[in-house]
Homo-oligomer: A and B are copies of this chain.
């Protein structure tokens, strides 16, 4: 599967968020495509974009939530490209990676932001359906920089899985993916000891969760 990450961020050089994301993609076979960098003069080349859509299977819109929507560059991309994209999108996947400075729990009735992120992202969900694409559950990265290093690492692993794992993966598939990367990837083997310890922790926790679930299932069967 080939993943295209269409990034829209007007001040990406000052975004630690996006720098973490970019680093996390470096050992993956994905295409990082930053719109503001390619089109500083707001003239999006439709043919280039259609060719990119044609040669990828999973399309990701990645952006900071600006006024409950994507920055203007991504909107211009939509207005320029989508009208001609039917044959290049049909049957593929659309994912949204959205960052926000506000805690995710504020996005609900009674919260400071009043509506859910799913509600704000309706236009993208509808675009996916219009092109008969599968809409992946949005990947929300809230207040990334406030989190502990371990938590951040965990989120980046989840981000990598969001970009590369086929379909909507099960827990087992996610663990298999992780073990595979751990054993095959040169740069992961060179991680410092803190990170290695964290990785092992992570895997063991996941395994325990599976064992618990298996136990519960057996209990239920025996009843």
Binding site for B on A (CB under 8 A): 10, 42, 66-73, 75-76, 78-79, 82, 113-115, 119-120, 122-123, 125-127, 129
Do the beta carbons of B126 and A115 come within 8 Å of each other? yes
Q: A42-B42, A69-B69, A119-B119 are known contacts. Are A10 and B126 too (CB-CB below 8 A)?
A: no
| Total copies of this chain within the assembly | 2
Do the beta carbons of B120 and A126 come within 8 Å of each other? yes
Main secondary structure of the interface of A (DSSP, over half): helix
Top 3 closest pairs, chain A to chain B, by CB: A68-B123, A72-B76, A72-B75
| A71 / chain B contacts, CB cutoff of 8 Å | 75, 79
The one of B70, B113, B122 in contact with A119, judged by C-beta atoms closer than 8 angstroms, is: B122
Q: Which residue of B lies closest to A123 (CB)?
A: B68
Do the beta carbons of A79 and B72 come within 8 Å of each other? yes
Distance between Cα atoms of A127 and B71 in the complex (Å): 15
Give chain B nearest CB distance to A20 CB in angstroms: 23
| A76 / chain B contacts, CB cutoff of 8 Å | 72
Q: Which residue of B lies closest to A69 (CB)?
A: B123
| A75 / chain B contacts, CB cutoff of 8 Å | 66-67, 69-72, 75
Do the beta carbons of A72 and B69 come within 8 Å of each other? no
| A129 / chain B contacts, CB cutoff of 8 Å | 114
Distance between Cα atoms of A204 and B153 in the complex (Å): 70
Give chain B nearest CB distance to A104 CB in angstroms: 16
| A126 / chain B contacts, CB cutoff of 8 Å | 68, 113-115, 120
